[in-house]
Each structure stands twice: as C-alpha cells, then as structure tokens.
A and B are shown apart, each in its own frame.
Chain A
Amino acid sequence: MTITVPPVRVEDKLYQNRYLIDAGRPHIKVRPHQSPSANLLALTRICPAKCYELNATGQVEIAADGCMECGTCRVLCEESGEITWNYPRGGFGVLFKFG
C-alpha cells in the first residue's frame, strides 16, 4: 500500500510568501549552453521553488522570482560556472514572515 498524495503545485505554496522583487536585476543567471550537465538538469526537479525549467529546445532556464535564496543551486552549479549566484540587493528577495 502506498500513500496517496494529491498533486502538488509549488506555485500555490510560493503564493503564501512575501517577496520584494528587484525588477530587471535577477540575482541568479544560467550560462548559455547547448545541453545541461546532470547537476543543472537536476535543478529542474530539486529546486524547492521550481525556479529552473527545461525549455523546448533542451536548455535549462531560470525565473528567480520565487527563489527562497537557499543556495542549493549554488552548491551544485556555481563552481562549474554554469550559474552565477549572488544575493539580491539589500532589502530585496524573499522576506520571511515566520522563517
């Protein structure tokens, strides 16, 4: 017997959070690539805010608006240069009400 888990939409979870978006200044960027490495591809599944998505031609793209600044992608993909990672400017980004 397995547990039945209703389908989960991360967007619904993120909707509860408070953010101050620094429009036009994304704090994470993905380096242009032909095909993603295993780690970069993994981010499409393991990023807790689902910021990374595979596009129609097989490249990984990021939309960092829902980012919770955990650093998982930094730990996996910064050293190889596949992504650049910075904190948002002071005051911007996720603002936890409870943490």
Chain B
Amino acid sequence: MVEEKFDAIVIGAGMAGNAAAFTMASGGLKVLQLERGEYPGSKNVQGAIMYANMLEKIIPDFRDDAPLERHLIEQRFWMMDNTSHAGIHYRSDDFNEAKPNRYTIIRAQFDKWFSRKVREAGATLLCETTATELVYDITDKVIGVRTDRAGERILADVVVLAEGVNGLLGTRSGLRETPRPETVALAVKEMHFLPEEVIEQRFGLKGNEGCVIEAAGTISRSMTGLAFLYTNRESISLGIGCLVSDFAATMESPYALLEGFKNHPSVRALIAGSELKEYAAHLIPEGGYKAIPQLFGDGWVAVGDAAQLNNAVHREGSNLAMTSGRIAGEAIVQVKCRNAPMTKRNLVLYKTMLDDSFVLKDLRKHKDMPALLHTNSHNFFMRYPQLISLAAQNLVRVDGTPKIDKEKATTAAFIKGRSRWGLVSDALRLALAWR
C-alpha cells in the first residue's frame, strides 16, 4: 500500500486541535486530524465558558450557527464558609451587546460544530482513531504517527500535538514530562437540567442572558481548589476542582466535595428539582508559566492543554487553547509557504508568535501565583474565607453591641487567625505575585 502523506497531522479535535486544523486547512494545507472519540467532543470536558474574541479571530461569523448557550451578563465570585458566602458580583447591561464577549457552551455540541467547520475548510477527520506513537526519520525528526488502526504509518511534514492535558503521545515520546500531581487539578462536573424559565427566574435573567458563579472556600476542605456554577440555556453545569497533590495528601473524595458544594445552603436552592444527566471528570493544567514544556521541535509543535497553556488565576483555558492552535497553524502555513522544512529552527516561529500574544504574556505575568496559592492553601481556602464570613456577619448583624467593639472583635479575629506578620506577609506576597 502506498503511504499517504499529509502536510500536517493534528492529534485531537478539541479547542486547540480544531483551531490548528482549521487555520492550516484554510491556508491551503493538506491536513489530517485524528480523534480517539466516537465524535469530536466525546472525550472533552470543560465548564464551559467560550471567549468570543479568540473564536472571532478564527471564524469571524461564528454567531450565525455555533451552538451557544447563554451570553454572560453577570459574574459572581463567592468566598464560602460552611453556611455563608461573601461575594463580589458584577452585572452589567453593557454585556447585552450586539456581539457579546463570553458565552456558556456545551462542549460536545460545540466541538461537533467546530469540527464541521474544520472539515468544510478542507481537513480530513478520522474519528475512533487513537494515535499510538510518533514516527521518526534517521535524523530524529518527527515524520508521522502510528495509530491503533491496522498499524500502518501515516506521514506528514509536521505533527500538531493537541492531545490534551493527559496526552500520551508527547509524554511517551519524551517531548515533555507527564504532568506532576502539583501541576494539575482534578475537576468533577455534573450537568443538571431545569426548564429554561426556572433558570431565568432563579438568576434574574431574560432571553439568552447568563450568569456565572465561581466559588472558593471551605468547600475545598483546605485544598487549593475552586467550584463553579454556569447557567446554560436549559441546564446548569456545576463542579469543583482541586490539585491532584492535595487530593492525594488528604484522600478526600472528589464526588463528596461536589455533593458538599451542591448541598451548601447558597447553592442548593439554585439547582433544586434538577435532573442529573451526566457526571464527568477531567484534569486541568495548573502549573502556569513555569510548567510550560518545550513547545516545538523537529517536525512537531504542542498546543493547548497538552502544552499546559492554562491561566488558572483567571480561569481561562479554552481561549489559550484556541489561540495557541491558531498561532501554531499560522506559523506552519508561513513555513510551508516559504517551502522551508518543518525543523525546530523554522518552527521556533510558533514560539516567537506565541510570546507576542496574550497567551504567554498573561501566563508570564502570573508565573509566581501557582506557588503562592498551592503552598498556602489552608490560609487561602479555609482560614481567610472563615474570617471574611465572620467579619461580614459582624458587620450586618445588629445586636446592640457597639460598633467599635464589633470592629475590634473582627480585627482581633484576623490577628488571632493569621497573626499580624502573617497578614502582612500574605498581602505582600499576593501583591508581588500578582503585579
């Protein structure tokens, strides 16, 4: 049999893989995309929030037919203790704009749509196909892959590794390390269905408006973690994630944490009467800038979660995935147009372009945040939420105690809980890591 040769093979049909495949196919390259699931999206899990700006750069008129759930007009950040939440809410009618900025999506549906666009752009998609190993030439340049179908080689000038956070191909080939327990979070998520009008009532929404809640505090039982609740059109996605190293140390069960969040008095009423239709689990890259592996080499590039490109501080991932996929695709098209070989020397263009984008600028800015939050989890996820709840309750409860005594009690609680030096040093370290 004659071996078929492509300009590029893309491993995976998630956000990064679809962005890369679309960009390269639109640029006239002969692209093969491999997906191990039955259909694109069948192995993918996300909250999920989709960022319009980054998709517009790939498919400008996506709003015409993409399966979008709700555009977000309200963001709530909650700090929770066992019975309360203190929050910052931001809601603005400005988000009811002609081209809204953020949408909730359901990944399995969105990925099918995105994949259809990729195929319309001319790429070939092969589902139910797991890439099992990379193929090298005698100079150690990647020249293709083997799959679990029949074992024959598929050759290409370049392989785009968009295989996700738990991708086996790149790690087994020694192109990057397997993620460490300290640099990935395990998140569990459930899909709860409710009638559209019930969701709109409970969150004060009309039409396609949507609301997002992100919550930290005692719900993660002193582990570094975050819970979320997103409104879709007729369902609510909610979940919680914590560092794998914290799970291993505490031996807390993720599904028990999720039940704790769902049964918190602030959450229970929001999902009451809903019907559970799916339970999912996935890893999230949390290591930030310092955990980013080598992004390119002879005949290959890595994009998206496979390259740990996730902004844990701002809880952004799919936009970094889309953008890194697009930029890798553009770099490859440029190299191809010059008729230059897909060597490490030429593919450095991808890294140069990524350095110039928000992807690496944002991750570089927050490079010290993971270390700060991961090593002070008891303070940031247990003690401070409890103290803030105490302070808020002290402020609003009217019981005849003079205000001066209340304020003294609040200050004393903070000093007792964390010590003067601890408070100052936490504030300083947070400021330094954030700037």
If over half of A's interface residues share one DSSP class (helix, strand or loop), that class is named, otherwise mixed; here it is loop
Whether A72 contacts B263 in the complex (CB less than 8 A), given A17-B279, A90-B130, comes out as no
- Beta-carbon contact of B251 and A45 below 8 Å: yes
Which residues of A (7-36) have their CB < 8 Å from a CB of B? 8, 10, 13-14, 16-17, 20
Whether A96 contacts B179 in the complex (CB less than 8 A), given A48-B254, A72-B186, A75-B244, comes out as no
Kindly state the separation between the CA atoms of A93 and B281 in the bound complex, as whole angstroms. Answer: 13
Asked if B280 is at the interface of the complex by the 8 Å CB criterion, the answer is yes
- Beta-carbon contact of A86 and B260 below 8 Å: no
Asked if B56 is at the interface of the complex by the 8 Å CB criterion, the answer is no
Asked if B407 is at the interface of the complex by the 8 Å CB criterion, the answer is no
Asked if A91 is at the interface of the complex by the 8 Å CB criterion, the answer is yes
Residue of B with least CB distance to A4: B263
- Beta-carbon contact of B148 and A76 below 8 Å: no
Contact of A46 among B37, B108, B253 (CB under 8 A): B253
Whether A20 contacts B36 in the complex (CB less than 8 A), given A5-B256, A45-B252, comes out as no
Interface size of A by CB at 8 A reads 45
Kindly state the separation between the CA atoms of A75 and B158 in the bound complex, as whole angstroms. Answer: 28
Residue of A with least CB distance to B128: A91
Asked if B248 is at the interface of the complex by the 8 Å CB criterion, the answer is yes
Most buried by A among B166, B181, B276: B166
Which residues of B (191-230) have their CB < 8 Å from a CB of A? 191
| 1/0 contact string of B350-386 vs chain A (CB within 8 Å) | 0000000000000000000000000000000000000
Set of chain A residues within 8 Å of B280, measured between Cβ atoms: 17, 68, 96, 98-99
| 1/0 contact string of B240-260 vs chain A (CB within 8 Å) | 000010011001111110011
Asked if B291 is at the interface of the complex by the 8 Å CB criterion, the answer is no
Which residues of B (103-132) have their CB < 8 Å from a CB of A? 106-109, 111, 127-130
Residue of B with least CB distance to A15: B279
Stretch from B22-30, B39-47, B137-145, B319-327 at the A interface:
B39-47
Contact of A96 among B45, B147, B264 (CB under 8 A): B45
- Beta-carbon contact of B166 and A70 below 8 Å: yes
Whether A46 contacts B186 in the complex (CB less than 8 A), given A3-B82, A6-B263, A74-B166, comes out as yes
Asked if B178 is at the interface of the complex by the 8 Å CB criterion, the answer is yes
- Beta-carbon contact of B277 and A98 below 8 Å: yes
Contact of B83 among A1, A75, A88 (CB under 8 A): A1
Whether A71 contacts B259 in the complex (CB less than 8 A), given A13-B276, A16-B277, comes out as no
Residue of B with least CB distance to A72: B186
Interface size of B by CB at 8 A reads 60
Set of chain A residues within 8 Å of B283, measured between Cβ atoms: 70-72, 75
Residue of A with least CB distance to B44: A99
Asked if B180 is at the interface of the complex by the 8 Å CB criterion, the answer is yes
Kindly state the separation between the CA atoms of A17 and B255 in the bound complex, as whole angstroms. Answer: 15
Contact of B278 among A20, A76, A86, A97 (CB under 8 A): A97
Contact of B179 among A75, A87, A94, A99 (CB under 8 A): A75
- Beta-carbon contact of A98 and B255 below 8 Å: no
- Beta-carbon contact of B149 and A42 below 8 Å: no
Asked if B157 is at the interface of the complex by the 8 Å CB criterion, the answer is no
Whether A99 contacts B254 in the complex (CB less than 8 A), given A2-B82, A3-B260, A90-B130, comes out as no
Set of chain B residues within 8 Å of A69, measured between Cβ atoms: 43, 166
Set of chain B residues within 8 Å of A46, measured between Cβ atoms: 186, 244, 247-248, 251-254
Asked if B349 is at the interface of the complex by the 8 Å CB criterion, the answer is no
- Beta-carbon contact of A97 and B247 below 8 Å: no
Min distance, Cβ B32 to any Cβ of chain A, angstroms: 14
- Beta-carbon contact of B264 and A3 below 8 Å: yes
- Beta-carbon contact of A87 and B168 below 8 Å: yes
Whether A20 contacts B281 in the complex (CB less than 8 A), given A48-B188, A71-B165, A75-B180, comes out as no
Kindly state the separation between the CA atoms of A60 and B149 in the bound complex, as whole angstroms. Answer: 32
Set of chain A residues within 8 Å of B43, measured between Cβ atoms: 69, 93-96, 99
Min distance, Cβ B228 to any Cβ of chain A, angstroms: 15
Query: Can you identify 10 A-B contacts, CB atoms within 8 angstroms?
Result: A5-B260, A5-B263, A16-B277, A45-B251, A72-B281, A86-B168, A90-B36, A95-B43, A98-B237, A99-B43
Other contacts beyond A76-B244, A88-B130, A90-B147: 17, CB < 8 A = A3-B83, A3-B263, A3-B265, A6-B263, A8-B256, A14-B279, A46-B252, A76-B248, A85-B168, A87-B36, A89-B130, A95-B43, A96-B41, A96-B42, A96-B108, A99-B108, A99-B280
